Structure 1
Amino acid sequence: MRSEWLSPGWTGVRACQTTLGFNLGWRQGDVRANQAELTACLGATPVFLSQVHGTQVVRLQPSLPAEPPPEADAAVCTEPGLAVAILVADCLPVLFKAPGGVAGAHAGWRGLAAGVLENTVQALCEAAACEPREIETWLGASIGPQAFEVGAEVVQAFGREAVPRDQPAFIYQPNVASEPRWRADLYALARERLAAAGVRAVSGGGHCTLTESSRFYSFRGELLGRPAGRMAACIRLLA
């Protein structure tokens, strides 16, 4: 693994999130070489998904075709020869480790609100024959609460009232002329959802892909002229 990549530091698996300068999002330039290096680092074939900000979870198996990539926003795997690969550039990647299985989820606000993490926990428990309390989770790098400004529709998607005040995981932003705005904390929302699903061990988080411009790709940063690209959060089970 490259020293600048993030990692949960777990045993029994190989897991990481790549960083700026190692683009995996576009099939041009050095992406194919980066995919080959990632495969070598993981010691397994990374399986990428066609992510649509939904809640579908796919189980990775050797028989699953690589092309076209499966349309899903999360994957579980019990095969040591395959690795779950989640592409991100502001959305939150979440990695899961269980006895006998691993998983990864792409959790932007839409997926979080709709239940992608709960679906991933359920699918991993079924695939690995485990309980939610046996699962360890790790939150990779996403846009942070200091930078993620949202409107009423996001607040309401999480069952909060869109009233001009601070709420759990949403800090109200006064003095906005057009309409009420809040700063959303994806990390807090993910922890809330994972706890409700019975997951006790949650680590990671604390980064901001938008403000840490020297370290991460950011979709919103692209609009400000920063380099375009995508990072991958990956995990594989060791034999």
Structure 2
Amino acid sequence: MSHDWIIPDWPAPACVQALCSTRSGGVSAAPWDRCNLGDHVGDAPGAVRANRARFAEVLQGRRGDVRPVFLRQVHGTRVLAIDRGTPDGTEADGCTSTTAGVACTVMVADCLPVLLTDRTGTRVAAAHAGWRGLAAGVLEAALQCFWPLAQDGEAPPAIKSEVIAWLGPCIGKAAFEVGGDVFAAFTRADPGAAICFAASGREGKYHADLAALARRRLAAAGLSRVHGNDGSERWCTVANPARFFSHRRDASRLGASGRMAASIWRLG
């Protein structure tokens, strides 16, 4: 590839492919330069279409006929089952598929993309985890696609151990200052989540570790195999302006920010 897109380093089965774009490789002008995939951020529609076509070409080049499905994300918890007939712009913050060549795709520019599959690769899923969706349960909703619920509402541990997750780039803890409402949203039901926050030095403000909060939610749901973003600076969208879009860094300064995409799909 002539760009620095991320190929997840994780033990997914050979029949599952995944990719996360960066801002390189596209045609958009500043401030969306260069590979903006969001059609709702003010970028020229023709540039977005060209970037999405390029994104699809790269996916297809990694084996087979692949179609990424782009959602209209609203920071909610809906996880949509998709196939080749699902239109772009369908409202959801996660998607899942068992259809070969259908790429479950989420767009991000500070929020956390989470990709999921099982040991045999029979199903894939992607979730858009900003703090609102994460606190409300978007990851738990995505995981429900992988296991049938027992009568007590819990899946057997053996089934949970089959699922693996990959976390992509997101805003890092040093850059993610939040208020007491965010702290309360996570610690109200899980007091132990306080470990993922640190006082920022301003009254009532905290630095939140979004990747750590996601790992905590996944662990509580029974996942032990989580890969990707470890909270280090190289994964931080704000701290790496040459590589990643960041809404928090760029929207107020430049007036807009582009969007990256993370996709996961099954081979035919």
Alignment TM-score > 0.5, same fold: yes
Q: Tell me the amino acid that sits aligned with residue 228 of structure 1.
A: S
Q: Which runs of 5+ in 1 are unaligned?
A: none
Task: Give the Cα–Cα distance (whole angstroms) in 2 for the partners of residues 3 and 101 of structure 1.
Answer: 28
1:213 aligns with 2:241: yes
Q: Tell me the amino acid that sits aligned with residue 159 of structure 1.
A: T
Q: Which moved more, 1:86-95 or 1:6-15?
A: 6-15
Contact 1:42 1:236 (8 Å CA) reproduced: no
SS of equivalent to 2:84:
coil
Higher strand fraction (1 or 2): 1
Counting only pairs closer than 5 Å after superposition, residues 166-177 of structure 1 correspond to structure 2 as 167-174=194-201, 176=202
Q: Tell me the amino acid that sits aligned with residue 55 of structure 2.
A: L
Task: Give the Cα–Cα distance (whole angstroms) in 2 for the partners of residues 199 and 52 of structure 1.
Answer: 26
1:234 aligns with 2:263: yes
Using a 3 Å threshold, how does the CA distance of structure 1 residues 188 and 34 change in structure 2: closer, same or farther?
same
1:19 aligns with 2:22: yes
Choose from 22, 42, 48 the match for 1:31.
48
2:226 corresponds in structure 1 to 202
Counting only pairs closer than 5 Å after superposition, residues 153-172 of structure 1 correspond to structure 2 as 153-160=181-188, 167-172=194-199
Task: Give the Cα–Cα distance (whole angstroms) in 1 for the partners of residues 170 and 130 of structure 2.
Answer: 9
2:137 corresponds in structure 1 to 115
Q: Which runs of 5+ in 2 are unaligned?
A: 24-33, 61-65, 149-157
Task: Give the Cα–Cα distance (whole angstroms) in 1 for the partners of residues 177 and 85 of structure 2.
Answer: 42
SS of equivalent to 1:217:
coil
Contact 1:170 1:185 (8 Å CA) reproduced: yes
1:41 aligns with 2:58: yes
- In the alignment of these two chains, the number of paired residues is 227
SS of equivalent to 1:191:
helix
Task: Give the Cα–Cα distance (whole angstroms) in 1 for the partners of residues 188 and 199 of structure 2.
Answer: 12
Runs of 4+ that moved beyond 6 A: none
1:53-104 C-alpha deviation (Å, 9 max, x unpaired): 000010012333x15x221100011111210110100000000111201100
SS of equivalent to 2:169:
coil
1:7 aligns with 2:17: no
1:190 corresponds in structure 2 to 214
